Amino acid sequence: MAVAVSKVRFSDPQIEMAHGAGGKASRRLVEGLIAPLLLSSPGDLLGDAAHVQIDGVRVAITTDSFVVKPLRFPGGSIGELAVNGTVNDLAVSGAKPEAIVATFVIEAGLPIEVLDAEVRAMAEAARRAGVRIVGGDTKVVEHGKADQIYISTTGIGRSMPNVHVDPRAVKSGDKILISGPIGDHGITILLARGELDIEADLRSDTRSVLPMVEALAHAAGSGIHWMRDPTRGGVATSLNELAHDCRLGITIDESSVPVGDAVRGACELLGLDPLHIANEGQFLAVIAAEQADAALKALQSVPGAEDAAIIGEIREQPAGALLASTKYGATRIVDMLVGDPLPRIC
């Protein structure tokens, strides 16, 4: 293996919250320090899952830590996120989840009911997603050395035949699909912290997107060029990363992006852009133009994805950038944020 230690380029003196928020600062840390030092193929860390050959079989593997605050929120909890997030990372990499392992870092003094509830939430989420949890580990740290509980999950899966997700396959003219309304998870977490005097009838969208990915794979197969679940940093970050990776331009039609009233209202009040808000149960897909309508129809036929939409397309220019056309005919550049309006959303 070749560890490319020569490519380290990261000069921040210390870790800040922004380094964990999924925006530019996160990407700089990962691309500038962790990936070049740690990975055998430094490009790997930014994808949703790595693929490894074991005895001739292609095994997908993905891992995430979860530090969401608060632990429970309308529509979900850390345990549910930990399972669904890993299921979804496998699904959007074109793999069917087979097994999950989990670790718990628990603060001494945690009431057992809290742990019990999260373990049950994980088991239930795994049951719904059709994946087995096969092992784990438990560590305890002193009271005050963790924020109740942190959970890490790793999933392995088998590659779906005919689905090859690769930014290099993306070409001008491809259409961009989203599975449903954006921003529900991030705004739910923001409101659940109770620091803002805003009330809204809103729930996290956390769920397995596997049934939707499978429907898409059935309908569009090799027409799927790329998928990603736009979690930290939202749709804007995922599409900026894609534009960067495929060296093409992306244009979205803002009025076609599904956004619920509660999210739109909260974003207007707070001066946030829904495109930057985290999602947990949605995914983006880039589909060959000629298969896009069939793909959309297949997606919309899956319960929970009725609001799926084609929101934009890939263009030659401006390479590396994401543009949004507004309903008034103007066009704006939508960049990644340095940090995130909201840390610890997953």
Judge residue 98's burial from the number of C-beta atoms within 10 Å of its C-beta, 0-12 exposed, 13-18 middle, 19 or more buried. middle
The span from the CA of 203 to the CA of 196, in Å, is 16
The span from the CA of 86 to the CA of 288, in Å, is 26
Please tell me whether residue 206 binds a copy of itself under the rule CB under 8 A: no
The span from the CA of 247 to the CA of 173, in Å, is 14
**Strand pairing category for 76-77 and 224-228:** unpaired
| Least distance (Å) between residue 76 CB and a copy of itself | 17
Please tell me whether residue 133 binds a copy of itself under the rule CB under 8 A: yes
The one segment of 47-55, 220-228, 262-270, 302-310 that binds a copy of itself by CB under 8 A: 47-55
Among 116, 268, 290, 306, binds a copy of itself (CB under 8 A): 116
Q: How many CB atoms lie within 10 A of CB 46?
A: 15
Supply the DSSP string of 184-243, one letter for each residue: HHHHHHHHHTT-S-------------HHHHHHHHHHHGGGEEEEE---TTHHHHHHHHHH
Among 87, 91, 146, 200, binds a copy of itself (CB under 8 A): 146
Q: How far apart are the first and last CA of the chain?
A: 32
Site for a copy of itself in 151-170 (CB under 8 A): 152, 154, 156-158
Among 28, 59, 198, 256, binds a copy of itself (CB under 8 A): 59
Nearest by Cα to 136 from 116, 149, 119:
119
Structure tokens at 317: 């220019």
Among 24, 28, 63, 338, binds a copy of itself (CB under 8 A): 63
Please tell me whether residue 54 binds a copy of itself under the rule CB under 8 A: yes
| Least distance (Å) between residue 252 CB and a copy of itself | 27
Please tell me whether residue 127 binds a copy of itself under the rule CB under 8 A: yes
| Least distance (Å) between residue 190 CB and a copy of itself | 16
Site for a copy of itself in 305-344 (CB under 8 A): 343-344
Site for a copy of itself in 254-273 (CB under 8 A): none
Among 61, 212, 236, 287, binds a copy of itself (CB under 8 A): 61
| Least distance (Å) between residue 337 CB and a copy of itself | 15
Measured from the CB atom, is 146 or 200 closer to a copy of itself? 146
The one segment of 8-16, 171-179, 213-221, 304-312 that binds a copy of itself by CB under 8 A: 8-16
Residue 48 DSSP class: S
Please tell me whether residue 147 binds a copy of itself under the rule CB under 8 A: yes
Find the length of the chain. 346
| Least distance (Å) between residue 101 CB and a copy of itself | 4
Measured from the CB atom, is 42 or 249 closer to a copy of itself? 42
Nearest by Cα to 72 from 203, 219, 220, 217:
203
Structure tokens at 78: 């850390």
The span from the CA of 300 to the CA of 302, in Å, is 5
| Least distance (Å) between residue 93 CB and a copy of itself | 10
The span from the CA of 304 to the CA of 84, in Å, is 15
| Least distance (Å) between residue 5 CB and a copy of itself | 8
